[in-house]
Amino acid sequence: MYVPRHFAPVDIAPVVELIQANPLACFVTTQDDVPVASHIPVVFASDDDLTGPTDLVGVKMYGHLNVMNPQYTALADGDRALVVFQGPHGYISPTVYDRAPAAPTWNFSAVHVRGKIRLLGPGEPALKVVQRTVSALEGRFGQGWDMTDSIPYFRKIVSGVGAFEFEPEAVDSIFKLSQDQPVDVRDKVSSWFSGSDVSTHRALAAEMCRNRSTACPHEEEASRHDG
């Protein structure tokens, strides 16, 4: 992935956050020299591995597919994959800039992780991946559901789970959030997205504000009203 210098993150923290906030990844491999893809949740094997590294190399991740998925049946230990995580995104009309000339564009964030696959066996190894996936997703998006009573049910259906461990070897990340624009233009864009009825646009506005060294104008206004 081509990443212009001013759109590259300065550290790994926003990369980890994007992956955790958007775990439904596009899992891409090749079969007979043809790219194939599935949309699956991919999670970190442990949150403990994320406190020290300056990149994701060596940090283990878990994923799983249906064992009947042709992409899974074609996988072998040592195969390499591209896992793509997409953050919030949105189209920017030139009318937002309130200046001419101007060109439309698209703000977005994405992480491409390339790495090696290790297939995990059926039974307990696959069950471990399912449990970790549930724990990660329920903890972030759910309501604290306790899976304990459902473990026997998991054991019944886990034979249909093709689980794998994914070990990153290289990471490309882009956070295109109007950093190439003057401050006043960035403020207009973030305020426009913040006022949108589209939830992903509001998430994009928040992402733009997190990328700034100072508060966004609409955040300052909200703070005054809250006070």
Please write the tens of the pLDDT for every residue from 3-41.
998 899 888 889 999 999 999 999 999 999 999 999 999
Q: Which domains does the chain have, with CATH numbers?
A: 5-176 (2.30.110.10), 183-227 (no CATH)
Mean pLDDT of 107-132: 95
Residue 225 has pLDDT above 60, yes or no: no
Q: What is the crossing angle of helices 199-210 and 183-194, to 10°? A: 150
Please write the tens of the pLDDT for every residue from 45-96.
998 867 666 688 889 999 999 999 999 999 999 999 999 999 999 999 999 9
Query: In terms of DSSP H, where are the helices of the chain?
Result: 13-21, 70-73, 124-141, 151-157, 183-194, 199-210, 217-226
Please write the tens of the pLDDT for every residue from 155-181.
999 999 999 999 999 999 999 999 999
224 pLDDT tier (thresholds 50, 70, 90) = very low
| Residue 53 amino acid letter | P
100 pLDDT tier (thresholds 50, 70, 90) = confident
Contact between 64 and 131 (Cβ < 8 Å): no
- Residue 88 and residue 107: Cα distance in Å, rounded? 8
